[in-house]
Structure 1
Amino acid sequence: IGFRTAVMTAMEALDKLHSTAESHHRVMVVEVMGNKAGWIALESGLAGGADVILIPEIPFSIEKACAKIAERKESGRPFSMVVVSEGAKAVGQGEVYQDAARRRLGGVGQQVAAEIEKQTGLESRVLVLGHLQRGGSPASFDRVLASRFGVHAVRLAAAGEFGKMVALRKNEVEAIPIEEAVGKLNVVDPGGDLVRTAESLGVSLGR
């Protein structure tokens, strides 16, 4: 619960930053949550009209990302929107940490922005959404989902069915064994439909 709200928050940030990027001829780099999975970056980037989306599942070439931005500049659009998952990493490199001792991710947006400015000559600014993605007014989808999960969980408890959790599968709420869910990550498929859609629309994923 909360994924749709986080995506909406990131998308709204992109919408608001687009006008300042265009009017000041800047590249706006938005760093969003996503340690191991790039769903928030990918979905908000698609919805918010990003030109470059960098996610953990696809190690990126900064040169290819910059090539997309340079291409836009040469075609008379000297501004771009970039969305970066906090866990995104360049080819052959590891994740970027703001606190390595505590394994706290952060800073990849700054690195990407600095390299974009260096390679394209366009002024680049960074916005790290951070905790803004975790709060605020929930999207209607998340409100309804919370109600559905709550009702289903109470039914399980009343029936004495413990050791299970509620989950959404194909828009249906189901009870699944906890061990079936623990330790499994739902990551973006680099060859999946959402990635193919983004690339078909001209979005660079840095590959």
Structure 2
Amino acid sequence: MNHESEAASNSELSSGEQWLRHAPYSLKQTRRGLNLVIYGGVLVFLAAVGVLYFLFGTELQSLFMNVLPVMAFAGNLIIFGGTILCLSIPEQAGVRRLLIGAAVGFFAKVIFSGTIFFDTEVLNLPVALFLKLAGNVGLMLFALALRKFLFYLNRPDQMWKVYCLLGSVVLFLIGSWCLELVTDLGLVELRLITIYSVMLVGFFLYPCFTFSLKKVLR
């Protein structure tokens, strides 16, 4: 009798809800992947905060400006690895192509941050901007993958968080391009601070909302 009631209960659940209930290995991998994306995002955010703080004068500037590229490179690499782990989401969710596209974008960002980390100048400005854009597109694709994932889990009530993720990407996408423009034009540092502050809001919100969405997998 218990088996019959359990079977009836399972039949009322969507495939995504059943996947959550049975907690397979792929669910654990997805959790690990989202954790890595969160940890990597926090590292990138801290690196951006450090750049803003030490860019405008401090006795420890030379020391920390050598450490911050390491943090940014490590953070982007961790985000890339987390996205790869998220490919364990069932194919029925229909997120695989979006995640692959996100992984490609994140790998481009790894290349970009790696050139800074290894202190090479092999990238000219157009290529550097393209890699940064690809990384931001990767963040958008990852957010859209989470959107489809929420539909798969039958959690449309969490959809507003995805839109907040997309909004955060827009903030540092616009900020990133404005930063390049302002730097090339040699405008005052006050405007650099303003642009960086807008970017930091985006860098902060992305891991926060990703963490909030991860709670759905509990």
* TM-score, normalization by structure 1: 0.24
Q: Which has the larger radius of gyration?
A: 2
The higher relative CO (CA closer than 8 Å, separation ≥ 6) is in 1
TM-score (norm 2): 0.23
Which structure has greater helix proportion? Answer: 2
Q: Which has the higher strand share?
A: 1
